Every structure is written in structure tokens, then in C-alpha cells.
Amino acid sequence: MVATFLIVVGCSQGTPPNPSATSPESVELTVSAAASLQDAMKAIAPLYTQEQAHVIITYNFGSSGSLQQQIEQGAPVDVFLSAAPKQMNALQEKDLLLTDTRKDLLKNSIVLVTPKDKTDISNFKGLTTDKVSKIAIGNPESVPAGQYGKEVLTSLNLYKPIQSKLVFAKDVRQVLSYVETGNVEAGLVYATDANVSDNVKIVATASETSHAPIIYPVAVLKESKNPDSAKEFVQFLSTEPAQAVFEEYGFSLASD
């Protein structure tokens, strides 16, 4: 099982509680989200808990495929944000989503990145040269960014010629790390991942026609112990404060 990162976000107002005051009962929400969302989602959590101080959010970040498997195996998850429809479709087919809570939330794009100081790769065709020995992409079987990356390379007739150079990562953030540390000469990541790193540069952006639309769906899980609070959190993700955060990190809205 691919390791994931757990982040708990709470809210404290800094004043002792008043026993005589009526306040909502504390609610804990577990949100499983694609690794590429972690920066934006960490920024959104305090905005939400400012409005809903009784809610404690626990984030579980990883590849969408691994998160899907965890949910199928009974992991206690309230909300799932996938980096592709494929994983959400699989859960829907198994009747694991709460009816009428699924929606398309965000869009993204695929870019080719290199270490910041590398100057001899300027486009996708440069991956075929002898100067490139290792190229990182997410595992196409479980990582949506890898699936899209494979589609891009296939559309450019590059996948087979460079297949022996490919290094498969457990999620898109591991791809980014491989490039940042110089362990590979190039990698395919989301534009949003490249935007949060000072150690890589974008040398090419994949055409939207070279891959399936990069859509991030969100839904509440049927087994959620707090379905009402989970639905409220999902609704918050479409409000102006949350949308501003997503756009700051380079996502575009699926409704655009």
C-alpha cells in the first residue's frame, strides 16, 4: 500500500469555553485527497474552520488510485477528492458514494519540468536525446498524472522510444521530488505542482488535445459518519474563498 500523509487541522479561538453556552458538537472529518491538492487543501482548512470552529479536518494525501483502494477496503473516509474521474467512477460503480454529492470541482494541465539549472531540454522531443537517461512519471496504473503523462507521450509517438528511460513514481509529488533533487533529468507533473517548486522549471506544456480532460471530482462517501458536515465541506469548496485559494495554486474551476 502506498504511504500517505496525515494532516490534522483544528481551530482554537484562544478563549476558554463557556460551559453554559450552547455550541455545536465537535465533528471530525477525514478527507482523502490527491497528492497534487495538498498545498491548496492545507490553505483551505483554516478558512473553513474559521466558519465551522467545531469541525476538525484530517487530511489523507496520496495517489488517487491508492486512496480509492483504501476506501474500497473500508477505510473511514468522509470526503474523497480524486485527480481523475476514473477512481471516482470505480467507487460510484460499487455504490460507495452518497447519492447526489458528486461534482466536478477543478481542472489542471500537464507540463514537462526539468531541474532549474538544466538547459539542454526545451520540449518533449528533447526526451529522446542521449542527454536524457531518466524521466519520471507517476505510475499510470494508479496515479492520474502518470495516466495523463502516458497519454501525452503516446500522442507524440514518444512513449515507446523512451520507455526504457521511464522511472515510475508512487504519486505526482514524488515525480516532482525526483526532478528537484536531480535524480532524473525530466518529469511530467501537473502545472500546479511545478508552480509550488523553486527548484524546477517548466519547459513545455502538453496540448489539451493530447490527453483526456484533467478533471478533479469530489464526493461524500456513503459510509461517512458525518454526512451532513461532509456535504457542507464539499459545498464550501465551491465558495469564493476556496475558489480563490485553488486559483492561487494554479487550478482552474471545472465550471469555467
What is the SS3 assignment for 177? helix
Burial status of residue 138 (CB atoms within 10 A of its CB: 0-12, 13-18, 19 or more): buried
Helix (H) or strand (E) holding 8: strand 5-9
Feature table: binding site for molybdate: 36, 64, 145, 172, 190
Task: Classify the C-alpha dihedral 244-48-5-163 as positive or negative.
Answer: negative
Q: Where are the alpha helices (DSSP H) in the chain?
A: 38-51, 64-72, 85-93, 144-155, 159-162, 172-180, 191-195, 227-236, 240-248
Q: What's the whole-number mean pLDDT along residues 228-241?
A: 97
User: What distance in Å separates the CA atoms of residue 136 and residue 145, rounded to the nearest whole number?
Assistant: 11
Reference 4, options 28, 43, 32; nearest CA is 32
Where do the domains of the chain lie, and which CATH numbers do they carry? 5-107+215-253 (3.40.190.10), 110-210 (3.40.190.10)
DSSP label at residue 19: T
Confidence class for position 172, pLDDT limits 50, 70, 90? very high
Task: Classify the C-alpha dihedral 144-218-71-194 as positive or negative.
Answer: positive
Query: 218 near 81, Cβ under 8 Å?
Result: yes
For residue 188, pLDDT over 70 is answered with yes
User: Which pLDDT does position 60 carry in this prediction?
Assistant: 97
Average pLDDT, the chain: 91
How many residues in total does the chain contain?
256
Q: What's the whole-number mean pLDDT along residues 230-236?
A: 98
Q: What's the whole-number mean pLDDT along residues 106-126?
A: 94
User: What distance in Å separates the CA atoms of residue 164 and residue 127, rounded to the nearest whole number?
Assistant: 12
Q: Between residues 152 and 256, which one has the greater pLDDT?
A: 152
pLDDT tens digits, 5-64: 455 555 433 444 454 445 678 999 999 999 999 999 999 999 999 999 999 999 999 999
Feature table: binding site: 36, 64, 145, 172, 190
User: Which pLDDT does position 23 carry in this prediction?
Assistant: 60
